[in-house]
Chain A
Amino acid sequence: MEKKPTILIADDSSFMRKILMGILEESGYSKFIECGTGSECIEKCKSEHPDLVLLDIIMPGMDGLEALKKIGNAVPVLMVSAIGQEKYIEDAKKLGAKGYIIKPFQPNIVLGEIRKVLK
Chain B
Amino acid sequence: MTERKINLPALAAEGSKKVKYAFYQMSKMNVDVSVVESKEIEINEFDSIINNFIEGSIVVASNIVSGVDGMSILCLQRGAALQLVDVLNQVKIGTTGVLKEIDRSAIKETLNILGNSFINAYSKFADQKIILSPPQLYTTSRVSEIFRNFKNKISKQSASSLMFSLKISIIGLEVEAKLYLIFREAITAQLKEAA
Contacts and interface: CB of A to CB of B under 8 A. Distances in A.
Interface of A: 12-16, 18-19, 58-60, 82-85, 87-88, 103-106
Contacts of A82: 112-113, 116
Given A14-B102, A14-B105, A83-B131, A104 B116 contact: no
Contacts of B21: 104
Contacts of B3: none
B32 interface: no
B116 A13 contact: no
A60 to B, nearest CB: 5
B35 to A, nearest CB: 19
B25 interface: yes
A67 to B, nearest CB: 14
Contacts of A13: 105, 108-109, 112
Nearest to B62: A58
Interface in B102-149: 102, 105-106, 108-109, 112-113, 116, 120, 123, 129, 131-134
B26 A18 contact: no
Contacts, number: 49
Q: Say what secondary structure dominates the interface of chain B.
A: helix
Contacts of A19: 26
B45 interface: no
Contact of A105 (B18, B25, B102, B129): B25
17 contacts: A12-B134, A14-B105, A15-B88, A15-B106, A15-B109, A16-B109, A18-B102, A58-B132, A58-B133, A59-B134, A82-B116, A88-B131, A104-B22, A104-B25, A104-B113, A105-B25, A106-B25
A87 B131 CA distance: 11
Contacts of A104: 21-22, 25-26, 113
Nearest to B21: A104
